[in-house]
Structures are given as C-alpha cells and as structure tokens.
Structure 1
Amino acid sequence: MATKALLSLLLATIVSSALAQSPVDWQPLLDQQNLVLRQVVQALQLTRSGAGDTDACFDWYLDNQTAINEVYYTEYNLCVSAATAAKKLLSEQSALERQDLLDDGHSLCSSLAACEKISDGLEFFQCYNKASDDNSPKLFNMSVTSERVANKLTISYQTINDTERVCTTNARVKNVEDLSISRAYLNDCLIGEWSPPEGADQSNESRMLLKQDSEPIARMLAFKTNRPIVGA
C-alpha cells in the first residue's frame, strides 16, 4: 500500500538521521531521503496504477539504497583504515630512532639522579656540572635527531591526511551520484516510465547501478603507502 511506502521511507529517514551522527559522513543519504520523502507526497497522485506498483517501486528503491550505502560504508572505511595503517607503518619504521632517544634520555636522567643523593653543596654542583658536560653530546644528538624525525613524520603524516581526505571525498561524491541516480529511477518508476525487475533479478539490478565505479576508491591510498588493502 501507499501507506507502507511512506512508512518505509520515513523509517529509513529516521535511521539515516541517526547514522548522520557516526564518523562516516551519511549526510548525502539523509539529504536524498528528505528529497524523496517530499517527492513521494507529490508523486503518489501521478502513479499509473495502484498501491501495488508504488510498493514495488519503493521495495526496489530501499534495496538499492542499501546496496549503495554498503559500498559507501566499505569504501569510506577503507580510506580511513589505510591511512591508519600507513601511520602505523611510519611509527614502526622510526622505532630504532625512538629507542635510541629513550636510551639516551634514560642515561642522562640516571646521571643527574645520582647527584640528588649528595648533600654537600660543592660536591652536588660539581656532580651536576660533570654530568652535564659528559652528556652534552647526547643532549645535542637528542635535539637534532628528534627534530629531524619529527619534521620527516610531519611531512609524511600530512601527505597521508591529504590522500585520505581526497579518498573520502571521492567516496562521498560517488555516493551522492549513486543516490541521485537511484532517486531518478524511483521517480521514473512512480510516474510509470520504468519498472523494477522481478524476483532474483531485482538484487542484481540494484547493484548494476554501482558497477561502473565499483573499484574501491581506497586503492589510491594503498598505492600512496605501498601497502595492500585487505579485501580490496
């Protein structure tokens, strides 16, 4: 019935509103659902047949929306997980330099801590002076190394963040395009210019709209980091 179609779409809109609060950007879906909800109220007066045809249109539409957003959710999260993996790899690659800095820092702290036990003023300051002189090469090395590695990681992280932003933006743009195509099919169905396939072919048809651009967008991020993406 027409009521069923409206209730189904309203429920989908409510769910979309909740999803809009998640880390994945579901706003395009919410915008499309709101457009369709307004469209339905107008289009129901123009349907070629009865409520059965309207329900068939919405059954197809909701299935197609599910397929579209499954692809979007997967591609968006591939972008994020690839960026996270790239940063983890960089951290692993700098582990030796990190350990060298920690060793030098612990050695310096131990030398200075030994002076704390000296109560005599002269001996205390002589101890600190000697410890500082002995560890000055370490201090210099710590300063130079930490600055060099930090600068290198800053540049690498910025590249990863920029690539992730491009990746998620492309996924979002593709999602908006797919949602718009889906809504256009729904409109054609409601006014009698297109009919959804029946039976098992319906699911395949839903995914055919996504087939041309089905290569995971996150592959570009894998290329940037030289790491494979599981499942891509």
Structure 2
Amino acid sequence: MDSRFVRATIRHLLTVIFLGICMMWIMAPTNTYIQKWKPSISKKVVSTYFGTQALTMLIWTFPVLFVASLGSLYLHLGKNSNQNASQSNEKKHRQALWRKPVLVKGPLGIVSGIELALLIMFIALLVWSLVTYLRRLHTITPKAAAIEGVKVWEMKLFDAALYIGLTGNVCLAFLFYPVARGSSVLPLLGLTSEGSIKYHIWLGHMTMVLFTIHGICYIIDWAVTGNISE
C-alpha cells in the first residue's frame, strides 16, 4: 500500500480526533455534559479493572495516547517516503506561512502563526470554561444556602473556589502533554520542542495562579464558616 495514502488516511483520522478532543473540552463545563453525557457514558464504561476512573481514561487519556501512537507511525512513514520531495510549492508555502514569526517582542519571545493560533484557542477555552462554570452561581438561592446552613455569599465563594479549581484542571491536563524532542505530537501541530518549552513554563505559571486562588478561596470560606480546623 502506498505510504502517501496511509499518511493521508492517518492525517484525516487525526484531524477528526483533534476536533473531537476540542469538542469535549468545550462541552466539559456545560450542563449537557455534566447532567446527560457524563452519567450516560459512565454507566457504559465503568469496569472491574478501571472502576470510576474508566470515564476519565476513555475521554481524556486514551485519545492523547492514540494520537501519540498514530503520530509516531505518521512521522515514521514520512521519513521512509519521498513525499516531502514531491510536495507542491503551494503546500510548502502554506506551511511556511504558518511557521513564519508574527510576534517578535513580548514575554513569549518569537511566536509563529501556528503558535499564536493555538495560544488564542487555549486562552479562549480557559475563559469559556471559567465563565460557564461561574454562571452557575446565579442558581444559588437563599433557600439553598439555608439548607446547607450558610449564607448565600459563603456558598457562592465555596462554589467559585471549586470552579476555579476545575478551570485549573484544564491547564494541568495540557501541562502533561510531552514537549520532549522525541515527542510525536508536537510535529503534527507544526510545533518544535524548543518553541514549546516556553509555553510549558507559562502553562505551569497559570496552573499555579489558578490553584493558588482556588486554595485561598477555600481557606477564606473555611475560616468564615468555622470549618478550617477540619
């Protein structure tokens, strides 16, 4: 079988998987996922071996491992074929445009087009997740707070701390994407190990900021409600 056909098939499959991963990240903070999709999928995938973690492994872990495996095969076939030599000038020009620096000054240094696009999408995902989570604070009523034996603002602070932590999980998840030189994921996105390290560092900073705010909000809530000793 022609390696170019296999690579094209893998490329389209990876595109579908990538879009699926993006869709799941977008849907994760919504009520549709939490109230409908998650319970439905959990009933079908909970097993003796993986238990309640089966859902997490299926949705968040397996796709990344699958992409990494397919990426290794894709890159291997590319090295053993003459596809790069037969690429059209138009395709090479498009790839060069994406890799061309668009920002040369700033805290991130030199930023290419593909890096800027991925960065904007990630920031948009964080904002979307946080805003979607925080919108639920409007559903907290004095009656619901009275049932818990707390004030409305105390209950909102507690939930806000939880939602900030859940948003921090997004950063934490992407923090575990490999940025090593031998990574099979980065080349698929047009990224390099050297260029990704700075984003890895800044991602760590964002993770620490979100989880610090998460912890401070919890400490304040516990201190006000008298539960800090617990």
TM over 0.5: no
Larger Cα Rg: Structure 1 or Structure 2? 1
When normalised by structure 2's length, the TM-score is 0.31
